[in-house]
Structure 1
Amino acid sequence: MKEIVIDCGPIQNKKTMHKCLAERLNAPDYYGNNFDALSDVLSDIGGSERVMIVFKNMSDFLNDNKKLCAKLIRVLAEAEEENEYLSVWFDVK
């Protein structure tokens, strides 16, 4: 299983969130920096190899960006449900 760690510590807003996600998920250059683009990337991730995306240091990001985090979690949950090779874990310490 491949593990991709997303450190939410430096994420401050939607722009920095998408920048971080695009980098860590190796999104294509045409990644649109929006939730539809993220959904597309997540639907293709894995292929025949299981992938675990681990979100660490999420507390401050969650507290400061509740609506943004709620949308992110919805997109991740939908992608995890649709892609059998994808698992997502949140470390909210």
Structure 2
Amino acid sequence: MRIVLDALCMEEKETAHTYLKEKLRLPDYYGGNLDALYDCLTDEEEMEIEVENREQAGKYFLRIWNVLLDAAEENEGLQLIG
């Protein structure tokens, strides 16, 4: 599954996690925080995530990006693009 995320939609915590839950089709029990994001991403079997507008995004997105990188390192089925 390939998903395109817009980093500009992830600049504030609450809106970022709502956006991620919808775009990544995260489970209902998703906790809406960085630890829960990591847990869900490391459980995924196959996923390709492309991130647009990374260079223009704010500070909170950088925290999300680090979680994405860590999850991709842990989970061989998760591939990051961009």
Normalising TM by the smaller chain, what interval?
0.7 to 0.9
5 Å matches for 1:1-93? 2-46=1-45, 50-61=46-57, 65-66=58-59, 68-90=60-82
Aligned-CA RMSD value: 1.6
**Alpha-carbon separation, structure 2, partners of 1:75 and 1:7:** 16
2:32 aligned counterpart, secondary structure: coil
Q: State the TM-score, normalizing by the size of structure 2.
A: 0.84
How many residues matched?
82
Unaligned runs of 5+ in 2: none
**Per-residue deviation, residues 19-62 of structure 1 (Å, max 9, x unmatched):** 1111111111111110011011101112xxx321011123332x
Gaps of 5+ in 1: none
User: TM-score w.r.t. structure 1 length?
Assistant: 0.76
AA partner of residue 33 (structure 1)? G
